[in-house]
Amino acid sequence: MANLFVEGKYGDKGIILGNEAIARGALEAGVGYASMYPGTPASEIIITLDKNKKYIKNIYTEFSLNEHISLHGAIGASWSGIRSLCAMKNVGLNVASEPAHFLAYTGVKAGLVLAIGSDPGAPSSSNEQDDRWYSLHTYMPILEPSNIQEAKDFTKKAFEISEQFSFGIILMAPSRLCHNAGILHFGDCLDRDLISGNFKRDPENYLNLFNLAVKNHKKYLERNELLKKYANTSELNIIIDAETGSRNHYRGNNHRIGFISSGVIYAHLIEALNFINADNYKILKLGITFPLSEELIKRFLNDLDEVVIVEEAEGFLEFQIKKIAFEIGYRGKIHGKNIFNAYGELTVDDVIKGAANFLKKPPPEYFDTAVKNLEMISDKIPQRMGTFCVGCPHRGSIYSILKASGYSNTDSKDRDVIIAGDIGCYTLGLLPPYNAMDWLTCMNSGLSIGQAISIADKSKKIIALVGDSTFYHSGIPVLMNAVQNNSNILYIILDNSWTAMTGHQKTPSTKIDIDGISNPNAINLKDLLKSLGISYIKTIDPNNVKRFSVLIKEALKEKGLKVIIAKRECILQEERRNKINKIKNVKLNNKPEIIYELQKERCVKCNECFVELACPAIQLKKEDDNKEFYFIDTIACVKCGVCYEVCPNGAIRKVEFNLHSLINSEPQVNLLNNKENKTELKIIT
Amino acid sequence: METNQSILICGIGGQGVVLSGKIISLSAFYENYDVKTSEVHGMSQRGGSVSTHLRYGEKIFTPLISMHSADIILSFDLYETIRYIGYAKKETKIITASEGKYIRGSSSNQIKLPSPKSIIDKIKIDLNLKNLFAIDIEKIALELGNIKVANTILIGVSSQFTYIKEHTWLSILKENVPAKTTDINEKAFLLGRKMLN
């Protein structure tokens, strides 16, 4: 199959990820500008367009340095008459909230869609915030698709609505849609030859000050009223009758009930009502969840005695609908957050239980069996924590920091050295066995909060951590603030050259891309730091753990602001590039191979490698006599050599051999003793 | 409605949970079923638990499987099987690797995990879930000559409990594994498919 994402047209269908469906919707709508700061679960929206850009005419994609810039970029494109798509994760809107709050004042020219990946249950976020609440003051309309097909169709439609009412428009997709896959029926794409920018001055809308701002405020409130009228009749909002579609069923003395829902929760609701064999109900499925049309809600509520609003988080729909119900004098009951949790993901089970409870149907009895089964057996199985990849440079960094501060392998509450964290791959160091971080909130919270603690509690030493992508995102002002105020803090920038967690987007630190092409615009981090007037700057390879921990100890003794750059490329990218190079360059295959081997007869199980360093390639196995021993899984091992360095007993040895020679001739074995009394086996011919 | 099937695939990051989900959903799609899947990303490359919910049939609204209603649980790690056992009902076919990868503890390595045998007994006897098939996939895969086809064996085993035809499975499998490994994957699949006969 050719590249269906790019070449698909009306009549084609395929299985596609939610994020890809959003990207496809934008493509069908003729998007010309697509930008984001990467963030799970939304990343693949722009990744999909970016990786296909060489097949798409007239498209520009950008992984911006942060969401503020990214949304502004989309606004600039829109003002130039280019349809633009900006994507971000839920907390991204906090950063982009400033442009978001001006967008209604200025309006748009070409359609602007802001796709937001929310994350109920927080499987990949530091909070569960529901960004829909922003729209109560940004007045950005919200569309909520409930499945893969709608993800594409609604995105396409969103561009039209955006242009029609001159609002930037939000397309809301939770992780459960972004990372779901399903069947998509493709539509046709707009003619991409027609995409061409032309910025025209529009001072009336773009200049906002004094009475100009007030005038534009009034104007967008009027546009919002027009949009409500649209929402009243739009096919994106639908009323579903559970029986025949006729209203006869609801006549008489029946107690009439209804459900209101949106997005993927609507899909759960349909499944749940089928599951418990519910009948005699109506559903209002809202595709536009802001603004709500009073007329539509009135129409739906009018012939119902009781209504349940099924949604995640704090009840954004319930808040709006209760207000409307009050205004129209609705006498029935409205339920919502009294039935469903305001926290965590709402699963299909939660909806089944909630709906069964409300309908006074017996909850499926086997729920109890299932829960009991699970409890009986699973409480003995500990959580399988995520950890750094094998060979990840962050493992070396976190290990060194813990060794230097003396807190390795403890979750003690009483520490004299504070390890301040924020967002990034390295944040996994907060998990056991490292228990390294003292807090985790938002981007660049490490140094910002740390600066204040260095003033508030002078008895503590503070190490603030940041990854390179996060540093460039919004860390430079924080660092300048630390310089200005001469903060007494050790700042470690963990520079792995990529925004790794979200699938390896480039950062300003990326000097060589995955194909080996160097980036002439790469920023020299050390020069940047120097230019800020920082005098204490050291650079180190984090896999050099002994030197690194000595360096940290020394730095902690110094007063003032100290910066260490722990520089080593993300191992996944390095490996990928090597793989590509190996295919291209046969000569590289001649390089000697290395194997690290854990000799069980020399291992005293001191746990330095298994528990303290905790590399997943070092594993535990039982022998036949039930004795346990450690070994290195040579398939998983990427030969970073850190375990070799940390082993205090010389039990891990490095074996070097040349594959070609091994195949071609009889090898000679040569044992070399190095100065640390570790045996190095070198097979040379 | 009875043609709907719910398959829960679980394991550890890197074991091929996502790829298996892709192969099953493409096979269902190929036979004109409606199909929906849901994955939990994020920890996929970092050793955490990974699972995919997959449902196919005439018309599917949500990909999420509710408790006690999976038709097939396909697990690449015995300890992970336990985590998802709440999705099993009496009829559920639980197809699982007979071994589990060691789970590291929080601050010491001294976690005593139940033995594979005791887990299997517990599921079969205490929980009365008789349709459990524990297969030493690593051993079989090594015998076949490539440890990486371990999950293909399990897909093969589960395939006979689905409505999807053998030739569909094989053609989708071939399209989605590395070109060099198509033969061994096909062998592994067929071996699994016939294993319980």
The model's confidence at residue A584, banded by pLDDT at 50, 70 and 90, is low
Of B87, B105, B129, the CB nearest to A382: B105
Is A440 a residue whose pLDDT tops 90? yes
**Using alpha carbons only, what angle is made at residue A582 by residues A577 and A585, rounded to the nearest 5 degrees?**
115
Question: How distant, in Å, are the alpha carbons of A582, A585, A587, A657, A660 from that of A591?
Answer: 11, 11, 8, 9, 9
Cα(B80)–Cα(B92) distance, rounded to whole angstroms? 16
Of A274, A371, A378, the CB nearest to B83: A378
Tokens of A69: 């810039």
Tokens of B21: 């989900």
pLDDT at residue A365, as a whole number: 73
Print burial letters for A151-187: b (CB count within 10 Å at least 16), e (below 16).
bbbbbbbbbebbbebbbbbbbbbbbbbbbbbbbbebb
Each residue of A410-437: pLDDT tens digit? 677 788 999 999 999 999 999 888 989 9
- Strand-pair partners of A183: A15
Residue B195, Cβ neighbours under 10 Å: how many? 16
| Span A4-233 CATH architecture | 3-Layer(aba) Sandwich (3.40)
**With an 8 Å Cβ cutoff, is B33 touching chain A?**
no
Cα(A94)–Cα(A206) distance, rounded to whole angstroms? 22
Per cent of chain A over pLDDT 90 is 76
A267 CB neighbours in chain B (<8 A) are 61-62
Cα(A623)–Cα(A634) distance, rounded to whole angstroms? 18
Burial class (CB within 10 angstroms; exposed 0-12, middle 13-18, buried 19+) of A577: middle
Of B62, B65, B86, the CB nearest to A264: B62
Query: Which of the two residues, A121 and A628, has the higher pLDDT score?
Result: A121
User: In the sheet that A489-495 helps form, which strands lie side by side, from edge to edge?
Assistant: A417-420, A461-467, A489-495, A561-567, A536-540
For every residue of A151-198, DSSP letters joined together read HHHHHHHHHHHHHHHT--EEEEEEHHHHTEEEEEE--PPP-GGG----
Which 8-state DSSP code applies to residue B103? P
Residue A321, C-beta contacts closer than 8 angstroms, at least 6 positions apart: A260, A292, A297, A307, A309, A334
Please identify among residues 154-173 of chain B the ones whose CB lies closer than 8 Å to any CB of chain A. none
Q: A29 by DSSP, 3-state: which?
A: coil
User: In the sheet that B132-135 helps form, which strands lie side by side, from edge to edge?
Assistant: A13-17, A180-185, B34-39, B49-57, B5-12, B72-75, B93-97, B132-135
Please identify among residues 70-89 of chain A the ones whose CB lies closer than 8 Å to any CB of chain B. none
Is A360 a residue whose pLDDT tops 70? yes
- Strand-pair partners of A185: A13
A189 is in an annotated binding site: no
Task: Decide if B5 contacts B71 (C-beta within 8 A).
Answer: yes
Is A379 a residue whose pLDDT tops 90? no
Cα(A236)–Cα(A145) distance, rounded to whole angstroms? 9
**With an 8 Å Cβ cutoff, is A614 touching chain B?**
yes
- In single-letter form, the type of residue at position B169 comes to W
A442 is in an annotated binding site: no
Q: A515 by DSSP, 3-state: which?
A: coil
- Strand-pair partners of A282: A241, A258
Residue A369, C-beta contacts closer than 8 angstroms, at least 6 positions apart: B68
CATH of A592-684, one of 3.30.70.1400, 3.40.50.10490, 3.90.1300.10, 3.30.70.20: 3.30.70.20
Task: Decide if A330 contacts A301 (C-beta within 8 A).
Answer: yes
- In single-letter form, the type of residue at position A139 comes to Y
Question: How distant, in Å, are the alpha carbons of A605, B87, B89 from that of A367?
Answer: 44, 9, 10
For every residue of B65-93, DSSP letters joined together read PPTT--SEEEESSHHHHHHTGGG--TT-E
Of A175, A370, A381, the CB nearest to B68: A370
- In single-letter form, the type of residue at position A182 comes to G
Of B36, B41, B46, the CB nearest to A182: B36
Residue A608, C-beta contacts closer than 8 angstroms, at least 6 positions apart: A646, A647, A648
Nearest CA to CA, how far is B195 from chain A (Å)? 28
Tokens of A29: 């709508």
Cα(A86)–Cα(A535) distance, rounded to whole angstroms? 39
A432 CB neighbours in chain B (<8 A) are 104-107
Residue A474, C-beta contacts closer than 8 angstroms, at least 6 positions apart: A66, A95, A443, A444
A428 CB neighbours in chain B (<8 A) are 46
Which 8-state DSSP code applies to residue A439? B
Cα of first residue to Cα of last residue in chain B, in angstroms, is 28
Query: What is the phi/psi pair of residue A169, to 5°?
Result: -125, 140
Identify whether A291 is preceded by a cis peptide bond (ω within 30 of 0): yes
A606 is in an annotated binding site: yes
Please identify among residues 138-157 of chain B the ones whose CB lies closer than 8 Å to any CB of chain A. 147
Q: Is B49 within 8 Å of A384 when comparing Cβ atoms? A: yes
CA-CA-CA-CA torsion sign (A433, A435, A440, A445): negative
**With an 8 Å Cβ cutoff, is A610 touching chain B?**
yes
Each residue of A85-99: pLDDT tens digit? 999 999 999 999 999
pLDDT at residue A82, as a whole number: 98
Pairing of strands A306-310, A257-262: parallel
Which 8-state DSSP code applies to residue A625? T
Nearest CA to CA, how far is B105 from chain A (Å)? 7
CATH topology of domain A393-574: Rossmann fold (3.40.50)
Each residue of A531-556: pLDDT tens digit? 999 999 999 999 999 999 999 999 99
Is A152 a residue whose pLDDT tops 70? yes
Tokens 């601050």 found at? B107
Of A349, A384, A389, the CB nearest to B66: A349
Is A672 a residue whose pLDDT tops 80? no
Closest alpha carbon to B159 in B129, B197, B128, B130: B197
Each residue of A179-224: pLDDT tens digit? 999 999 999 999 999 999 999 999 999 999 999 999 999 999 999 9
Please identify among residues 37-66 of chain B the ones whose CB lies closer than 8 Å to any CB of chain A. 37-43, 45-49, 60-66
Cα(A577)–Cα(B23) distance, rounded to whole angstroms? 27
Nearest CA to CA, how far is A411 from chain B (Å)? 8
B11 CB neighbours in chain A (<8 A) are none
CA dihedral A341, A344, A348, A352 (to 10 degrees): -20
Tokens of A482: 């630390």
What are the structural domains of chain B? Answer: 5-138 (3.40.920.10)
Please identify among residues 342-381 of chain A the ones whose CB lies closer than 8 Å to any CB of chain B. 347-349, 352, 364, 366-367, 369-371, 373-374, 376-378, 380-381
Of A348, A349, A377, the CB nearest to B85: A377
Burial class (CB within 10 angstroms; exposed 0-12, middle 13-18, buried 19+) of A588: exposed
Q: How far does CA A261 lie from the centroid of its chain?
A: 25
- pTM, two decimals, is 0.93
Cα(A409)–Cα(A465) distance, rounded to whole angstroms? 19
Domain ranges of chain A: 4-233, 237-380, 393-574, 592-684
**Using alpha carbons only, what angle is made at residue A436 by residues A430 and A437, rounded to the nearest 5 degrees?**
65
pLDDT at residue A678, as a whole number: 43
A40 CB neighbours in chain B (<8 A) are 41-42
Each residue of A465-523: pLDDT tens digit? 999 999 999 999 999 999 999 999 999 999 999 999 998 999 998 999 888 889 999 99
Residue B89, Cβ neighbours under 10 Å: how many? 17
Is A663 a residue whose pLDDT tops 60? no
Question: How distant, in Å, are the alpha carbons of A476, A601, B139, B150, B169 from that of B97?
Answer: 49, 31, 10, 9, 21
Mean pLDDT of the A276-290 span: 93
Q: Does domain A237-380 have CATH number 3.40.50.920?
A: yes
Nearest CA to CA, how far is B36 from chain A (Å)? 4
Task: Decide if A324 contacts A276 (C-beta within 8 A).
Answer: no
Q: Is B42 within 8 Å of A124 when comparing Cβ atoms? A: yes
Cα(A253)–Cα(A539) distance, rounded to whole angstroms? 78
- Check for a shared fold between A4-233 and A393-574: yes
pLDDT at residue A38, as a whole number: 97
Q: A588 by DSSP, 3-state: which?
A: helix
Query: Which of the two residues, A75 and A246, has the higher pLDDT score?
Result: A75
For every residue of A345-403, DSSP letters joined together read ---HHHHHHHHHHHTTPPPPTHHHHHHHHHHHHHTTS------PPTT-HHHHHHHHHHH
**With an 8 Å Cβ cutoff, is B110 touching chain A?**
no
All residue ranges of chain B with pLDDT < 50 are 1, 107
Question: How distant, in Å, are the alpha carbons of A438, A454, A486, A612, B159 from that of A416?
Answer: 11, 12, 21, 20, 57
CA dihedral A631, A635, A637, A639 (to 10 degrees): 120
pLDDT at residue A328, as a whole number: 95
ipTM of the complex: 0.93
B45 CB neighbours in chain A (<8 A) are 389, 572
Query: Which of the two residues, A129 and A277, has the higher pLDDT score?
Result: A129
Task: Decide if B64 contacts A176 (C-beta within 8 A).
Answer: yes
Query: What is the phi/psi pair of residue A672, to 5°?
Result: -115, 135
**Using alpha carbons only, what angle is made at residue B61 by residues B59 and B64, rounded to the nearest 5 degrees?**
120
**With an 8 Å Cβ cutoff, is A271 touching chain B?**
yes
A640 is in an annotated binding site: yes
